[in-house]
Every structure is written in structure tokens, then in C-alpha cells.
Amino acid sequence: MRGVAVVTRKGAFMASNDLFIKHGFEVVDSASPDFELLVYRFNTKSPAPSFNGNWENRIRSYSKGLTIIRADQCPYTVKNVNEICETAKNRYKTNPTVITLENCKEAQNSPAPFGTFCILYDGAIIAEHPISNTRFKNIMSKIVK
């Protein structure tokens, strides 16, 4: 192992970088809107990791309908995704596609920097981290009239 990497965020849901910086981590990459990749290097000569980038090209694969990308990282996502799917079908008359990530390679190629959760609607990311069904309804009410 060359070091430890962590993704932080200035916005809601995730830890900010303050604690990590205080303990010797360094920012090595960033991604919109406010994600940062930090690393604590065990070997200073090792190359720094980076986000895969190219977000726009990966998002293009999800240009139609509602897609939920998730991993088994958090047990709450199962419940939330099931509720979101029901709401999407009943309230917004759309059948979501749910993609469960199976390995780190798939997470690294996610269309969003968070990697293990993302909701896209008609080619745009509408949630970059796990959200509740209530939050989903609030987002969709602004998009779908």
C-alpha cells in the first residue's frame, strides 16, 4: 500500500477536508461541484491518485429516463432506493433503471465523483450522494412539471 486516499466534500453529506488536512493528508485532485481527493502518502515518491475525470462522457450513457447507480456500501440505500423507485413509478410515471455496482472498477467509472451512489435523470446528475425519498420528491418536483 502506497498510502490512504479519501474523498471529501465541502457541501452536504460528506466530511470536509479539515480533519484530514490536520492529520497530514494532502489534496491531490478535485471534481465539480465540490469534491476533493486527499491522500496520506506512506511513500512520498509514489504517484498521487486522481479522479478518472471525463465526467461528461460517462454521463452521456444515461441520457434517457431515471437511472440510480448504487453500491452495497450503506444498508440505508436499499430502503431509500426501493422507496425512490416506487415514487418514480407511481408519481412520475417512469421506470427507473437501478445499477448495482459490483466492484471497485465499476465505482471508479461512475459518472459522479462520489462513486458509489448517483441518480441521473435525462442525462443530468440530480443527486451525487445517497438521498431519501423525500429529498428525491423535492428534486423531481422542480424538474418534472
Give the total number of structural domains in the chain. 2
104 in a structural domain: yes
Grid coordinates of 122: 435525462
Show the cell assigned to 88.
Answer: 418514480
Structure pTM? Answer: 0.88
- Residues 84 and 31 placed together within one structural domain of the fold: no
Q: Find where cell 481527493 sits.
A: 37
Question: Based on the domain organization, do 83 and 120 belong to the same domain?
Answer: yes
User: Are 71 and 123 in a shared domain?
Assistant: yes
Residue 66 domain flag: yes
CATH code where residue 85 lies: 3.40.30.10
Within-domain flag for 27? yes
On whether residue 12 sits in a domain, the answer given is yes
CA 23 → CA 26, 41, 123, distances in Å? 9, 11, 38
Domain-located, residue 50: no
Reported as a single tens digit per residue, the pLDDT across 82-139 is 999 999 999 999 999 999 999 989 998 999 998 899 999 999 999 998 999 999 999 9
Query: Is 68 a member of any domain?
Result: yes
Given a cut of 70, is residue 1 above it in pLDDT?
Answer: no
The whole domain housing 119 covers: 55-143
Together in a domain, 88 and 118:
yes
Sheet-wide strand order for 66-70? 97-100, 66-70, 117-121, 124-127
| Beta carbons of 38 and 48 less than 8 angstroms apart | no
Q: 145 pLDDT exceeds 80?
A: no
Each residue of 17-72: pLDDT tens digit?
A: 999 999 999 999 999 888 999 999 998 888 899 998 888 888 988 889 999 999 98
Domain membership flag for residue 49:
no
